A and B are shown apart, each in its own frame.
Chain A
Amino acid sequence: MIAVVVNGEAKRLGGATTVAELVAELAGDARGVAVAVNSEVLTRAEWATRKVAEGDRVEVLRAAQGGC
Chain B
Amino acid sequence: MATVLESDPASAADTFEVAGCQIGSRLILGTGGAPSMEVLGEAIQRSGTALVTVALRRVLPGVEGSVLDVCQRTGVQVLPNTAGCFTARDAVLTAKACREAFETSWVKLEVIADERTLLPDPHELLDAAEQLVGLGFSVFPYTSDDPVLARRLAEVGCVAVMPLGAPIGSGMGIRNPYNLAIIREQVELPVILDAGIGTASDAALAMELGCDAVLVASAVTKARDPGAMAEAMAHAVTAGRLAARAGRIPRRLYAEASTSAMGLAEL
Could you tell me which A residues sit within 8 Å of B by CB distance? 7-8, 26-29, 31-36, 39, 41-44, 59-68
- Count contacts between A and B, CB distance < 8 Å: 111
Q: Which residues of chain A come closer than 8 Å to B226, judged between CB atoms?
A: none
B83 and A63 contact, CB distance less than 8 A: no
A interface footprint on B190-228 (CB within 8 Å = 1, 0 otherwise):
000011000000000000000000010110000000000
Could you tell me which B residues sit within 8 Å of A by CB distance? 29-34, 40, 52-59, 61, 64, 66-68, 78, 81, 83, 93, 96-98, 100-102, 108, 110, 142, 164, 168-169, 194-195, 215, 217-218
A31 to B98, CA, bound (A): 12
Minimum Cβ distance to chain A for residue B216 (Å): 8
B53 and A66 contact, CB distance less than 8 A: yes
Contact of B97 among A26, A28, A34, A64 (CB under 8 A): A34
Minimum Cβ distance to chain A for residue B85 (Å): 12
B67 and A63 contact, CB distance less than 8 A: yes
* Nearest-CB residue, chain A, relative to B162: A68
A63 and B68 contact, CB distance less than 8 A: yes
B56 and A64 contact, CB distance less than 8 A: yes
Q: Which residues of chain A come closer than 8 Å to B68, judged between CB atoms?
A: 31-32, 63
A65 to B38, CA, bound (A): 13
Report if A63-B100 is in contact (Cβ < 8 Å); known contacts: A26-B59, A39-B93, A41-B93. no
A35 to B81, CA, bound (A): 16
B58 and A67 contact, CB distance less than 8 A: no
Q: Which residues of chain A come closer than 8 Å to B215, judged between CB atoms?
A: 67-68
B30 and A68 contact, CB distance less than 8 A: yes
B83 and A66 contact, CB distance less than 8 A: yes
A59 to B31, CA, bound (A): 23
The interface residues of chain A, by DSSP majority, are classed as mixed
Q: Which residues of chain A come closer than 8 Å to B96, judged between CB atoms?
A: 41
B59 and A68 contact, CB distance less than 8 A: no
Minimum Cβ distance to chain B for residue A38 (Å): 11
Q: Which residues of chain A come closer than 8 Å to B58, judged between CB atoms?
A: 7-8, 59-62
A68 to B110, CA, bound (A): 10
Contact of A67 among B54, B56, B100 (CB under 8 A): B54
A67 and B217 contact, CB distance less than 8 A: yes
- The CB with the most chain A CB atoms within 10 A, among B101, B168, B169, B217, is that of B101
A29 to B63, CA, bound (A): 11
B101 and A61 contact, CB distance less than 8 A: yes
Report if A65-B101 is in contact (Cβ < 8 Å); known contacts: A31-B68, A33-B59. no
A41 and B66 contact, CB distance less than 8 A: no
B59 and A65 contact, CB distance less than 8 A: no
